[in-house]
Structures are given as C-alpha cells and as structure tokens.
Chain A
Amino acid sequence: MTVGVSRVEREPGWNKKGKEQMEVDNSFSPIDIAISGLRAQGKQMELISSNVANARTTDAGKGEPYRRLEAAFKLNDEMGGVELDKVLTDMSDFLKVFDPGSPRADEDGYVAMPNVNLPVEMMNLNIATRVYQANAAILKRYQQMVETTLELLR
C-alpha cells in the first residue's frame, strides 16, 4: 500500500506568487510577532539607558549637551509585527543650570544641561518593561496553546 500526498486546491490568488510556486508557510507567526515586540522593547530600553547615562553630559560633541533619544516604531507589513522605524532626537530646549564656577558656563553663569527628564525616563522604562513582559507572556501562552494541540496527537 502506498500513501499518496495530494495537494489541496485553493482559490486563485491565495498566494501572490500563484499556484505554480508553492510557498513555505512556517505558521508560527504569533511567535515571530512576539519576538519582534521583544526586540523593539529591547531597543527602547537601550535608548532609555543611554538617556539616563547621559543625563548630565554637557558635551556630546558639536558643542552642545546631549539630546535625549526616542525610538519611533512602525508596523511590519508582511507579518504584522513591530519594527524600529527611526531613532528620533528630542529637539526641546536644554535645561539651564546656574553654575558660574563651571568651565562650560556662559557669560551669565548658566550651564546648558541635557534635555533629559529623569522621571519621564523612569516612566518610559516602566512602560518598556511592562510591554516586554506582555510580549514574553504571549510567547509563552502561544507555546502552551500549540502544546495543547499536540496533546491531541498522543
């Protein structure tokens, strides 16, 4: 006895490439989406830690203090996950601190400090942590779901 593998006929246009080219579907896209979320939040954390580390950096090259960075994310069209669009620089005004003794002070005795606001960074850090946890939870739950399906094969 032989076992034949028959191909399922699908409606035209089920795949952009047409019927003749069979595409490989790895069918685990919730995992890919959750992983894209983890990576995005990892990047966000990286920028937050850069902001916090440079909260008092008065010289970031170009003769001005450090400007805070912010991540902008965008939707990944092909699988529905998230990806980093670009890293934006916060162009808001620098904080002026009165410190006449500093070598970087201007003629009025003010030193320009980075536009990093630590409480804001802490809030963003909390959000990034929670979103990271949520993505990890989805990853774990989906894995459990597939395992439940596989239990039916026992």
Chain B
Amino acid sequence: MSKTNSIIDLIEAGIRAENLRQKAIANNIANLGTPGYRRIDVKFEQLLAKSLDSSRAVELSKIKPQIYQPEQTPVKSNGNDVHWEIEVGQMIKNTLRHKAYIRLLNKKYKQIELATSVK
C-alpha cells in the first residue's frame, strides 16, 4: 500500500460516510416519536483527523464510519431526544458536503478523461 491516498479513494471514503450519515438522519426522523429513542450520528471526520495526526498517510480501509449515540441533545418527556430542527440542519449540511464530494469526483474524472482522450 502506498503511503498516500489517491483523491478518488479519499472522496469515496467521504461519500460513504455521508451516505451512512444520511441513513442515520432518516432513522432519527423515523423515530421522532418513539419513546426512549436516543438520536444516532456518524463519527468519521474525527477518526480521520485522529489518524492524520499520528502519521501523514492514512490507511483508509481501516477507518470505518461509526454509528454512535451523542446523547447531548436535551431529552423530551418520553425519553426521546430527537429534535426535527436539528435533523433538518444535519441533513442540509450533509447534502452540501455530499454535493461538494460529487462535484470533486466529477472534476477528477473529467481530468482523467482529458488526459486519456486522443484527438
């Protein structure tokens, strides 16, 4: 394995994380009224940052986006801590990040296409 990662691998890891986060948000919204449900979130950027700290190269296959319960939002009377406003905000942020990654990937593919096209 080379010491550095290709841009496509990095973007792929990002898109995977955003995908999982979107699922987590959908899960939270579906359980908006479930008593005792605690909202879930995806931990990926923190793990990536941690491994970037120790050494410059990252083994991307070893960093898996993790689902965890932050348990930081105030709990409602039925033991549920999902607030739809927060989920909407998370969803907007997630969509924008996802869009950015897709655009970058598209750009990269166009670059490859430019390099390989013979005219």
Contact = CB atoms under 8 A, between A and B. Distances in A.
A65 B68 CA distance: 45
A3 B85 contact: no
Given A5-B52, A24-B49, A39-B83, A150 B99 contact: yes
Interface string A104-139: 000000000000000000000000000000000001
B71 interface: no
A59 B10 CA distance: 63
Majority secondary structure, B binding face: helix
Contact of B92 (A4, A143, A154): A143
Given A23-B49, A150-B103, A153-B103, A4 B56 contact: yes
Interface residues of B, number: 26
Contacts, number: 61
Given A26-B93, A150-B100, A38 B85 contact: yes
Contacts of B59: none
A28 B88 CA distance: 13
A102 interface: no
Contact of B93 (A5, A21, A31): A31
B82 to A, nearest CB: 12
Interface in B65-119: 83, 85-86, 88-89, 92-93, 96, 99-100, 103-104, 106-107
A70 interface: no
A147 interface: yes
B103 A143 contact: no
With most chain A CB atoms within 10 A of its CB, the pick from B46, B85, B103 is: B85
A116 B118 CA distance: 79
A119 to B, nearest CB: 29
Nearest to B86: A35
Contacts of A80: none
Contacts of B85: 35, 38-39, 42
Contacts of B2: 2
A2 B99 contact: no
A91 interface: no
B93 A154 contact: no
Contact of A20 (B53, B88, B89, B99): B53
Interface of A: 2-5, 7, 20-24, 26, 28, 31-32, 34-35, 38-39, 42, 139, 143, 146-147, 150, 153-154
12 contacts: A5-B56, A20-B53, A26-B45, A28-B93, A31-B93, A35-B88, A39-B85, A139-B89, A139-B92, A143-B92, A153-B103, A153-B104
